[in-house]
Amino acid sequence: MRDMPPLVSGNIDLLRGHPSTRLLATSQIADAAAVVLNAPSLPVDSYTVIRHPLHYASEMGNRDVRGEIARWAGERYGLREEIGLERILMTSGASFGLMNVLMHCTSPVTGYTKQAFLISPAYFLAAKVFEDAGFTNKLTAISSTATSIDLPSLRRHLHHLNATTPDIPLSAGLVPISHDGAAPKRIYKYVLYCVPTYSNPTGQTWDLATRRELVQLAREFDVLLVSDDVYDFLGNEGDKCALGEDGRLLPRLVTVDREIMEEEGELEQGAGFTVSNCSFSKLLGPGLRCGWIETATSVLAEQIGHGGANISGGNSSHFVSTLIHHVVKTRAIDAIITTLRQTYTSRSGAIAAAIRAHLPAGTEICGGHGGFFMWVGLPPGYDARKIVRMAEEQGEEGGGVRVMSGDMTECPGERNRMGWGDRWVRITVSYCEEEEAVEGVRRLGAAVERWRAGPGCL
């Protein structure tokens, strides 16, 4: 969990990326618990498919839960083809999902996996998962634009690494990546982490051409693309950034991957190059610790799902997933999402207006179309690092405000410093109520004024 110190009372927190407590699905989960635990006939354990909610789970998670999530997600994305439940794996949320993907599909320590790429500015806590997995000093930042990423730079890096880093053959007996007696695991030479829709921290969304080109690049260079698709359903009302021309949500990388595999006749055998890492944290509540992974075919979902810990302990989100099953099956989740979207639409409008009113002319606002965050750039010459620190201190007019310095969104490693902290900050839409958030932006504006009045400013 995030290791941030508690705020001084009276301060406003526009840093924390949580939903407001009142928006958590408390009553729906309480109702689900009553229904699930009092059901006249709880599932009889069939060992491989459906288990009692308080029993060990099967490794992939209950079949009915996975099937319902597949149907519901397919509806929300407007998919023409049903998502086969064999492509769905239950997880303990996106953070643990990412950890398990890296554990089961990459091998940085042996040198088989050569490098990881993070889209920068990055979701700052994802970098720590990569470091745990052995990618320290093997992380490269690829910068993003409003609707895309620097694909030419990614291609250059991949060419260079292919030319300069030796290939380690899998047949060389790489113990950590081959099961005794089982088929060798599908391990990738590279891995790239991204949030293509309503990104953390920028709130921006990649266009379809970028998604297609990236999957093609991944196929060419053996890159596993892990996308946190955790904000896809949280577009602001009326927003079109994340919609295709047909009005459906833009296809995820996993959908693009599957389409290409189908064209190439690879669906029977292939593992694909994508993992869609999804979560109920942003929709129902992060304390539930439940999410799911969707992969292009069953190969990766099963590879990740049948890891040793799942074999020993069963799927890790089992009980909670049976409660969520009820909320999804009754589609109570859709009403919850509608409320979230209405709330965040109104808040992000109010925050954008406050930014225009209280921050200097020329301040750039990115995002604000969906998801949890807005990315705000002070005009050149303003020292965002100092202003963020000054904003946390109480000004004469009252308490302080906390926002995230762009420094925290850098990819770790000296070479990867992009200078985001010079003038960019992240503002969270999801946590504070509208009035409080607006007051927080006003306090940030007051800190800018204090900075302007001090020594060493413009």
Binding mask 219-258 for ligand PLP (x = CB under 6 A): ---------x-x----------------------------
94 binds ligand PLP (CB under 6 A): yes
Q: How far is the CB of 26 from ligand PLP (least distance, A)?
A: 17
Piece of the chain touching ligand PLP by CB under 6 A; list 21-29, 93-101, 264-272, 331-339: 93-101
The angle formed by the CA atoms of residues 273, 274 and 278, to the nearest 5 degrees, is 170
Q: How far is the CB of 92 from ligand PLP (least distance, A)?
A: 8
Residues 6+ apart with CB under 8 A from 398: 10, 443
Edge-to-edge strands, sheet with 424-428: 364-367, 373-377, 424-428, 404-405
Residues in the interface with ligand PLP (CB under 6 A) total: 13
- The residue count of the chain comes to 458
Piece of the chain touching ligand PLP by CB under 6 A; list 141-149, 171-179, 260-268, 279-287: 279-287
| Total H helices, total E strands in the chain | 14, 13
Q: How far is the CB of 236 from ligand PLP (least distance, A)?
A: 17
90 binds ligand PLP (CB under 6 A): no
197 binds ligand PLP (CB under 6 A): no
248 to each of 52, 74, 233, 251, how far by Cα in Å? 36, 11, 11, 8
Residue 316's CB is within 10 A of a number of other CB atoms, namely 19
Backbone phi, psi, residue 182, to 5°: -90, 165
368 binds ligand PLP (CB under 6 A): no
Q: Which of 291, 367, 400, 445 binds ligand PLP (CB under 6 A)?
A: 291
Q: Which of 53, 67, 121, 286 binds ligand PLP (CB under 6 A)?
A: 286
Piece of the chain touching ligand PLP by CB under 6 A; list 92-100, 107-115, 400-408, 409-417: 92-100
Rounded to whole angstroms, how far apart are CA atoms 390 and 397? 13
With H, G, I as helix, E, B as strand and everything else as coil, classify residue 144. Answer: strand
345 to each of 20, 69, 339, 351, 442, how far by Cα in Å? 14, 26, 10, 10, 19
Q: Which is nearer to ligand PLP, 217 or 404 (CB)?
A: 404
Q: How far is the CB of 200 from ligand PLP (least distance, A)?
A: 4
Residue 80's CB is within 10 A of a number of other CB atoms, namely 7
Q: Is 36 exposed, middle or buried (0-12, 13-18, 19+ CB in 10 A)?
A: middle
- Two tokens, residue 189: 């030479």
Q: Which of 61, 93, 134, 251 binds ligand PLP (CB under 6 A)?
A: 93
Q: How far is the CB of 259 from ligand PLP (least distance, A)?
A: 24
Q: Which is nearer to ligand PLP, 189 or 252 (CB)?
A: 252
- Closest residue to ligand PLP, judged by C-beta, is 93
Of 393-412, which residues contact ligand PLP (CB under 6 A)?
none
Piece of the chain touching ligand PLP by CB under 6 A; list 88-96, 130-138, 174-182, 309-317: 88-96
Q: Which is nearer to ligand PLP, 119 or 446 (CB)?
A: 119
Q: Which is nearer to ligand PLP, 127 or 230 (CB)?
A: 230
DSSP string, 21-87: GGGS-HHHHHHHHHHHHH-SSPPPP-SSS---TTSPPPTT--HHHHHHHHHHHHHHHT-SSPPPGGG
439 to each of 212, 415, 424, 443, how far by Cα in Å? 41, 37, 19, 6
Closest CA relative to residue 123, chosen from 257, 256, 211, 231:
231
- Two tokens, residue 396: 């004469």
The answer to whether the beta carbons of residues 295 and 302 sit under 8 Å apart is no
281 binds ligand PLP (CB under 6 A): yes
Piece of the chain touching ligand PLP by CB under 6 A; list 87-95, 139-147, 184-192, 381-389: 87-95
Q: Which of 77, 112, 117, 123 binds ligand PLP (CB under 6 A)?
A: 123
Q: Which of 279, 295, 298, 310 binds ligand PLP (CB under 6 A)?
A: 279
Residues that bind ligand PLP (CB under 6 A): 17, 93-95, 123, 195, 200, 228, 230, 279, 281, 286, 291
